Structure 1
Amino acid sequence: MQTTSQILNAGQTLAIAEVGAYFQIFESYAPVTVRFMINGKVLMTAEDMEAGFYASPGDGFDRVELTSATQQKVKIGISDGSGGTNRMTGNVNATIQTASSVLNRAIVNVGTVETPLMAQRSDRYGFRVLNSGATNIAIGGPGVTYATAVIVLAAGEVWNEETAPGAAWVAISDAAGGVLKAMELIA
């Protein structure tokens, strides 16, 4: 059995040219669409499949395509049908990481120009941001604009970041006078 792990961006199609008779999704955090092909023709399409999905289409396949609506890591396995696995993910005994310090940050005034929110920091396990102003405020990675932002906080909303807390983060508002309060959770 061959296994493959890949980060899929939203809307991206991962094409794997691999001859096989058995396919399984080991890890996915959101549903994916899977297309099985042979000689350039689609044999079967399975929509909104999650971890645990497996298939053995007819006479096998020579290409598999995966598409995800959201960015996520996907791990799959392909074999000739003579073997497989029933273990879905890595560690069974997971250790939960907890923070040992809480840092209350100074208030961040945010306008219509990108404003630094959090510098990159490898020991940060999470952070919380409260939009305590009257404007809408977008947060994201450096270079984000209000128009391209995925995370937008209305007045009074809180964002808990646990997926990429150690990355550098910036903020931008839809109008002048935005106000953010932030708290970091540090190892």
Structure 2
Amino acid sequence: MQTKRKFSLDKRSFVAGLLVGSLFVLALVATFAGVAAVRGATVSLDSKQLAVIVRDRIVAQAKTEIPKVIEGAKAEIPAIVEKEMRTRIVSDRMEIAGFVFRMPAEFIEQLNSKMRKNVENAAGEIMDGIDTDQLAEKFGAEAYLLVQEALQDELAGQTFRVMVFNRIPVRVNVEIK
């Protein structure tokens, strides 16, 4: 008979321990949730690290895209020059030392053609002289500064409300380093 009592006591002890342990864990979780809801959580972001990531991505993208843009612009040079040069030499008359000469039409056409070619070549050489790597690095450096400024201006000190498990509101404070 004592064995039944001992067994019964062990069973009660186990259930009591399980209940007390469960209540303790529940109280601990409730305390944590309450503190998190009131005080919130602070998220620290390293602005330099984020800016470096953005800068590197922009530099890589710019190094591949800028040459394509330049080649596209170079392809449009003849059409732009043709449009702009169409009305440059309109008179077939030339005056030298008071004497007026009439120039032949084919001379004017050759002159226009030479001018067009010279302008196209000059514009092409200018575009060929662009250091695309240096330009990409400049874009990256500007993006680096913009990201750091934006993080400081837009996110530093901001507080957001996040719903955990769609039920528990938690304040998240953003700190920018």
> Is the TM value for this pair above 0.5?
no
Higher-RCO chain (CA-CA 8 Å, sequence separation at least 6): 2
Greater C-alpha Rg: 2
Structure whose residues are more often helix by fraction: 2
TM tier, shorter chain?
under 0.3
TM-score normalised by structure 2 residue count? 0.21
TM-score normalised by structure 1 residue count? 0.20
Structure whose residues are more often strand by fraction: 1
